[in-house]
Amino acid sequence: MGLLARVRKEWFIIGIVLVIVSAKLQPSVGVKGGPLKPEITIAYAAVSLIFFNSGLSLRTEELTSALLHVRLHLFVQSFTLIFFPLAVWLLLRVLALTAIDHWLLQGLQTVSCMPPPVSSAVILTKAVGGNEAAAIFNSAFGSFLGIIVTPVLLLLFLGSSSSVPFSSIFSQLFMTVVVPLIVGQVCRGFLRECLERRKPPFGTISSVVLLMIIYTTFCDTFSNPHIELDPTSLLMVVLIIFSIQLSFMLLTFALSTRLGSRFSPADTVAIMFCSTHKSLTLGIPMLKIVFEGYEHLSLISVPLLIYHPAQILLGSLLVPTIRSWMSSRQKYSLLLK
């Protein structure tokens, strides 16, 4: 693959690095009260645009075929929104005894509270040949469920570190997340044929807006002289993230293939990716709302920024192995018949 093709493929990851470097070089541009006015343009306009875009792009009309697979959906949603945060919470009780930066550990807890992503789990499930309909359903349903559950989990495990009362947090979530998402879905109902024909770049639009949010978040950090990022802690967090992902993928594999589970190999693939992947697109805006004005917000956001490319990298590396396993299981099933 040529350099230009590689840049085009990985432009979002490169973009994250560039906006963080830009925020370090000129933090005054994106701070509160600065030229970008992030307290208005980011907190309201950008976040609303991301969720309107999500509502416009979610193909909920295609989910009816997967709707009746209740056991699979219950497994995925309970694993990602109940077991995952509780397991990480227990792990952090041990890691708190180490020298790893406290705010990075808090960031690991925020990762655990996030819903499944809208795209990466579906893309990897499709690449393997797994149950794509189930992956689409759980990604879409998890996104809707996460609007309510994720803020509650964040407040439960971390508490609100801003001076904003809970009622204001949820009213802002409603106005900037729920309303745009519903409006997007309504608009999709009227524009479905046009959208299917023209295929607007929904993912690219959300990613560009997300880069703006990441930029302003780090501008706040670099404008605060009291915040420093420990390189050793950062390296440890990267290793922990890969360990968590691999361990949980193995756990979901073991649970979904055990005797009596009644999940097909294609179901197992969807379960592995949907249960262990976390949404950056939904996560960063929610953190921005729940922890508005908090000086350590960017440090708390770092593990989520790492988790996103890590899950894509690890998933991509495992695609040939999982595809080979699924093919062998399907051949074995045919022989039994």
Report yes or no on 308 lying in a domain: yes
User: Domain count of the chain?
Assistant: 1
Report yes or no on 110 lying in a domain: yes
Is the pTM higher than 0.85? no
Q: Which residues contact 121 (CB under 8 A, 6 or more apart)?
A: 135, 138, 139, 270, 273, 274, 277
Q: Which residues contact 105 (CB under 8 A, 6 or more apart)?
A: 92, 95, 96, 237
Domain of 299 in residue numbering reads as 19-329
Report yes or no on 190 lying in a domain: yes
pLDDT (tens digit, 9 = 90+) per residue, 240-256? 999 999 999 999 999 99
The C-alpha atoms of residue 78 and residue 59 are separated, in whole angstroms, by 23
Report yes or no on 334 lying in a domain: no
Nearest CA to 217 among 294, 140, 141, 309?
A: 294
Report yes or no on 297 lying in a domain: yes
The C-alpha atoms of residue 62 and residue 136 are separated, in whole angstroms, by 9
pLDDT (tens digit, 9 = 90+) per residue, 327-337? 888 777 666 65
CATH number of the domain where residue 143 is located: 1.20.1530.20
CB 88 within 8 A of CB 111: yes
Report yes or no on 69 lying in a domain: yes
**Residue 4 confidence (pLDDT):** 83
Mean pLDDT calculated for residue range 138-163 = 78
pLDDT (tens digit, 9 = 90+) per residue, 53-63? 877 877 766 56
